[in-house]
Amino acid sequence: MILVDRVKRVSSLFIKIMIFIILLLTTRVQSQDWAKSLINNLQRVDLRTLGYPNVNQIPENSSAITSLLLGKDEKIYGGTSGENAYLFLFNPITNKVKHLGRLNEQESIHHALVQDSDGYIYIGTGKDMFNEIELSSVGLNSEPVDQTLWRDIKNHFKDYDGGHLYRYNPNVSNDKVKLPDMECEVEDLGIPVSNNSIYALTISPDGNEIYGLTYPDGHFFTYSIIDKIFKDFGEIDEQLSFHGPERYWRSLPRALICDDSGRVYTSSTNGILKYYSPESKKIESTTLKIPGDYYHNQFYTDYTVVEYFIKDDTGLIYGGTSDGYLFSLNVHKMELLNLGKPRSERRLRCLTMGKNGKIYLMAGERSQSRPCQFYVYDPKSSSFEELGLLIADRSPYYYWRGYQFDSMLTGVDGTLYFGESERRSHLFLYLP
């Protein structure tokens, strides 16, 4: 009996010591944690894994979320980039992410998910845009660096057939369970431009025509859903520039948007806005220039491109640039306003309009030293507010910091969704 009491006392002491050590370590970790979120109520931030772990979760190195779409069924659809491209959905009713299958032999779905009037989802694919290109030193002493870079990029795509446009039927395929290696049930509609990725997509207001941009040649193309015909309109940007922010990639616009009349806008050579007119079937140029870091009295050439577009309920368009500026575009007055820059570093990666009329945005580069930070812009006060890093803190169960994001949208109930774009990524949720 005495021995039993001693064992109990020793066990109790051991447990108390372990609890003390755990609390001590926890305190040290928190005191040394430099990562901060400025969101007052962190219970409003959470995340979801892309499927069930060890069952049908989208694999690491294929999980960077680079496209998001709010479906007509009020579900959130997403596309990934990496070793393989995957399609998934998040159902707010069940509060879970569902794996919809792999796009066979495709690496990326980059800003390229749209839905037509009948509910079909169209998917544009391409090569992984986060992959490093093998750069050569041949010719650096005898030709401009831009020519060498362009040759290396063209070599990277020379054996690539081209990005495909696929059609997915959610009414038929959403209910089917997919394991990690199972393919997505899609119809292949073809390749719009050979040796090019599909870099961005948008769709006409009536849902009958799809518009796209390609990489690396920067072609603008259309696809008629009714006639099932592609049409290539050639280069949207005639100038070769490698202004970055990714040093080895050609600078090209990453987004398209339709106004209420059906005109399709994007940036072009030297940051000038252009639009495709569905009436004339031609690409027209405006005199409007998107904001950038232009230093006119220095030997420096800026080459900013549009990164992301959204549109509010009145038809006013907002855009973010590669130099980190937010702007608005009134297509009725053909007036572009520079709304400012929330931080000194480059890139305004993605943005969305909240149900409260405020614009939420991510600004930052693909680097450890300049990761994404979360901001909100209030059109009423014309002011920015910094919200810091996006952190999902559900300690002691899980804790995750988001550093890289390339897509955002607002759900039907006002929840904001963020597509993390890391080697191992999650779908983030935020309740403003």
In this prediction, residues 41-58 reach a mean pLDDT of 92
- pLDDT of residue 6 exceeding 50, the answer is no
- Asked whether the CA dihedral 371, 109, 200, 161 is positive or negative, the reply is positive
Question: Which pLDDT belongs to residue 286?
Answer: 97
Q: Which residue has the tokens 């403003």?
A: 432
What's the distance, CA 294 to chain centroid? 26
pTM for the whole structure: 0.90
Strands 306-311 and 317-321: what pairing?
antiparallel
Question: Which pLDDT belongs to residue 146?
Answer: 81
326 φ, ψ (degrees, to nearest 5):
-105, 135
CB atoms within 10 A of CB 242: 16
- pLDDT of residue 7 exceeding 70, the answer is no
Give the Cα separation of 66 and 409 in Å (integer).
12
In this prediction, residues 276-280 reach a mean pLDDT of 96
Domain boundaries, the chain: 37-430
Give the Cα separation of 274 and 331 in Å (integer).
12
Residues 214-224: pLDDT tens digits?
Answer: 999 999 999 99
- pLDDT of residue 9 exceeding 80, the answer is no
Which of 309, 65, 87 lies closest to 202 in space, CA to CA? 309
The region of weakest confidence among 113-127, 163-177, 282-296 is 282-296
If you average pLDDT over every residue of the chain, what do you get? 90
Give the Cα separation of 347 and 301 in Å (integer).
17
Give the Cα separation of 352 and 40 in Å (integer).
20
Alpha helix (H) residue ranges in 107-252: 145-157, 170-173
Homologous superfamily in CATH for domain 37-430: YVTN repeat-like/Quinoprotein amine dehydrogenase (2.130.10.10)
Strands 416-420 and 427-430: what pairing?
antiparallel
Question: Which pLDDT belongs to residue 141?
Answer: 60
Query: Does the N-terminal peptide bond of residue 396 adopt cis geometry, omega within 30 degrees of 0?
Result: yes
- Asked whether the CA dihedral 132, 134, 137, 139 is positive or negative, the reply is negative
- pLDDT of residue 28 exceeding 50, the answer is no
In this prediction, residues 133-137 reach a mean pLDDT of 78
Collect all residues with Cβ–Cβ distance below 8 Å to 66 and sequence separation of at least 6: 79, 80, 81, 108, 109, 110, 111, 129, 406, 407, 419, 421
List for the chain the helix, strand, coil content (%; round to 5): 10, 40, 50
SS3 288: strand
Maximum distance among all Cα pairs of the chain, rounded to whole angstroms: 97
268 φ, ψ (degrees, to nearest 5):
-145, -150
Question: Which pLDDT belongs to residue 379?
Answer: 97
Percent over 90 (pLDDT), the chain: 76
Strands 165-168 and 85-91: what pairing?
unpaired
Query: What letter would DSSP give residue 108?
Result: B
Question: Which pLDDT belongs to residue 302?
Answer: 78
